[in-house]
Chains A and B, each alone.
Chain A
């Protein structure tokens, strides 16, 4: 892949360029993605919980995704794709910025993980042979708030889902609290790189649930990810800052 890869319609070109600049720094736990590193344990715990609930796991196995295919849309440099691979899944990671994909490939190699990283948007995947309807798990974390057409994006995710598959999406809520936490404080204090977020593009849980229903999905679980400056990220019933939705087809 290279910089001339055509940029798909649902990707806002300004957004993709912004993340590309961050690529090298992705894996530094104290770098500009420090926040993502810090929230990773909380969001992975949620993922594990939902995986176990859906496939009747007991929470103690090390490879609950063994034999399953996973698609991570907006994978960045692989902060989520790598854990999915360690949990046993055959992972495809998709990202619009080729710098991210390059960084992700390099890192996975160093970790001895075999992950199929591709540059592009969800609609490219749907167009590829044998990809539609073939993923047992589809994730897209902190991505939909950056896409140009959220409805088309959700429809794309739904199309990738295999029968009986599970989808987990996370994104910031559009509330006064999320504006304060993510933009005023997070970006203002330099904990999150400036211009990462455009608050007006955030979706409320009801809006996202609506988009999912329109794409033929049924939401099973809604959970908040709360942030406290002193205690970091926690799963919570409070969805006012950031939240997860877990859905299945039908």
Chain B
């Protein structure tokens, strides 16, 4: 029977990041994921792009994944928030010495970089594709039986299976969840005018519309990712539009300021929801990433929250190993729980507040929004806080997020 310090169920963006970081510090892991990498790495599997905050980027650099991504990301120089196309929005521009607010990567690039790193990591055993059939946690350790009959064991089980996490549900961890009745439609577009490294969040009565700057593909054309949120019931009709018509709708919502738009990726859509696990640990179990929490993509913080989970858990487990504690030790899990719960709740609550503020139709709401935005613009500390949030710099930062080795 194969044995490792930790068994990670789920080799998505967060699960693999965790495995790679643990490997750097000599902790071993077995990663189990039913997905076939040849499918998940194919073009068109995940057409999304993610805003990687500066703190998350520092971690990716510190654990060696950054080297595979060098020069592939598009720095976000500033963020503009606007209500519709009306003038008088908010602009978040960092000072010259503060660096970018984040870096845009295609998820496919992130997946590829993580896979390269993980395959080179001596302390990681990747079982992918492999489907877990049964897992058992006892006071002494954890054991996972795979559907193909193999069994693996370790000291700690990590649930990194994304929002449907069966491990979380089997542990009886309660979940607060609601759905927004909104769907995010994702696509990548070419446009005539350069984006100038600006990310736009444009709030329409139907929902937010985000334009996120990407680097040009091989063809050298200006390129951006579009996250277009509409009422759930309206999405199928929109997605059914011919490409040209869909591109024209996007151009209309941009107010034409990036010039003519053409689609350069297949479209995909995601129903939006919010979920938050009441606890992120149990006996010899820790949850990370979307298994623990899922938030509205409006602020682009979902993946970053997951990276922060990974960074905190790595620090807790590595420090624990250096004083001889076993990875499933209850004191270590208690520290992880304390560390992450506050941060996660704060980001989730403020993102949800933002969505609700912008999701309510009607005159009053619009007025509140305008006053609200104006107030944020006038009050320097609030604005700073908003930018820190975008950067991922709020809260007590794990060392990896400061770019410091554990």
Contacts and interface: CB of A to CB of B under 8 A. Distances in A.
Contacts of A2: none
B325 A38 contact: no
Contacts of B335: 41
A86 B326 contact: yes
Contacts of B324: 44, 48, 82-87
Nearest to A89: B324
A38 B331 contact: yes
Given A37-B331, A40-B331, A111 B322 contact: no
Nearest to B153: A112
B381 interface: no
Interface in B14-48: 25-26
Given A29-B331, A41-B323, A44-B325, A110 B26 contact: no
A152 B335 CA distance: 40
Contact of B322 (A29, A38, A59, A110): A59
Contacts of B323: 41, 44-45, 47-48, 83, 87
B140 interface: yes
Interface string A61-105: 110000000000000000000111111000000000000000000
Given A37-B330, A41-B325, A111 B140 contact: yes
Contacts of A85: 324
B376 interface: no
Contacts of B359: none
Contacts of B331: 29, 37-38, 40-41
Nearest to B26: A62
Nearest to B328: A111
Nearest to B140: A110
Contacts of A45: 323
A62 B322 contact: yes
A27 interface: yes
A107 B325 CA distance: 14
A62 B325 contact: no
A224 to B, nearest CB: 18
A83 B330 contact: no
Contacts of A27: 139
Q: Main SS of chain A's interface residues? A: helix
A60 interface: yes
A44 B331 CA distance: 12
B321 interface: yes
Contacts of B326: 82, 86, 111
Contacts of B84: none
A25 to B, nearest CB: 12
A35 to B, nearest CB: 12
Nearest to A34: B330
Nearest to A49: B323
Contacts of A87: 323-324
Nearest to A80: B324
A107 B141 CA distance: 11
Interface in A162-213: none
B343 to A, nearest CB: 19
B153 to A, nearest CB: 10
A110 B320 CA distance: 19
Residue from the set A41, A84, A85 with the largest chain B CB neighbour count within 10 Å = A41
A92 to B, nearest CB: 16
Nearest to B155: A111
Contacts of A59: 322
A62 B321 contact: yes
Contacts of B139: 27-28, 110
Contacts of A30: 330
A30 B325 CA distance: 17
16 contacts: A29-B330, A29-B331, A38-B331, A40-B331, A41-B331, A41-B332, A60-B322, A82-B326, A83-B324, A86-B324, A86-B326, A110-B139, A110-B140, A110-B141, A111-B140, A111-B326
Given A62-B25, A82-B326, A87-B323, 18 more contacts: A29-B330, A29-B331, A38-B331, A40-B331, A41-B331, A44-B325, A47-B323, A48-B324, A60-B25, A62-B26, A83-B323, A86-B324, A86-B325, A86-B326, A107-B140, A110-B140, A110-B141, A111-B140
Of all A-B residue pairs in the complex, the 6 with the closest CB atoms, nearest first, are A83-B324, A29-B330, A44-B323, A110-B140, A86-B324, A87-B324
